[in-house]
């Protein structure tokens, strides 16, 4: 299974990050340290994880929160969740 988001999905992820974490003018890329964006706290991270679950129709769970360090980590969590679902479905 493909472990990368499509360009459209990646833009959706970046949009959710901008909406939930309000990083101001901070640039976002795969290596952006999410927890170091201005004003980010645990409540905002929880809100982001919930929005990602709804937006991408995946189940990340609360255990995903400490795993979120970079934007790439979030992408990987989405892909891992999809792989687990595919494995269970087959």
CATH number of the domain at 14, please.
1.10.1200.10
Taking a C-beta distance cutoff of 8 angstroms, is the pair 14, 28 a contact?
A: yes
The per-residue pLDDT for 2 is: 56
Let me know if residue 73 belongs to a domain: yes
Instruction: Give long-range contacts, CB 8 A cutoff, 24+ apart: 8-11.
Output: 9/56, 9/78, 10/75
Question: What parts of the chain have a pLDDT lower than 70?
Answer: 1-3
Let me know if residue 1 belongs to a domain: no
Let me know if residue 2 belongs to a domain: no
Instruction: Identify the domain containing residue 45 by its residue range.
Output: 7-89
Count of domains forming the chain: 1
Let me know if residue 15 belongs to a domain: yes
Let me know if residue 62 belongs to a domain: yes
The per-residue pLDDT for 51 is: 97
The per-residue pLDDT for 3 is: 64
């Amino acid at each position: 299974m493909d472990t990368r988001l499509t360009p459209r999905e990646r833009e959706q992820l970046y949009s959710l990050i901008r909406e939930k974490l309000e990083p101001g003018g901070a640039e976002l890329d795969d290596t952006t340290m999410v927890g170091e964006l201005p004003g980010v706290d645990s409540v905002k991270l929880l809100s982001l994880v919930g929005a990602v679950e709804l937006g991408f129709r995946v189940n990340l769970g609360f255990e995903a929160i400490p795993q979120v360090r970079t934007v790439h980590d979030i992408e990987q969590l989405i892909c891992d969740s999809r792989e687990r679902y595919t494995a269970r479905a087959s």
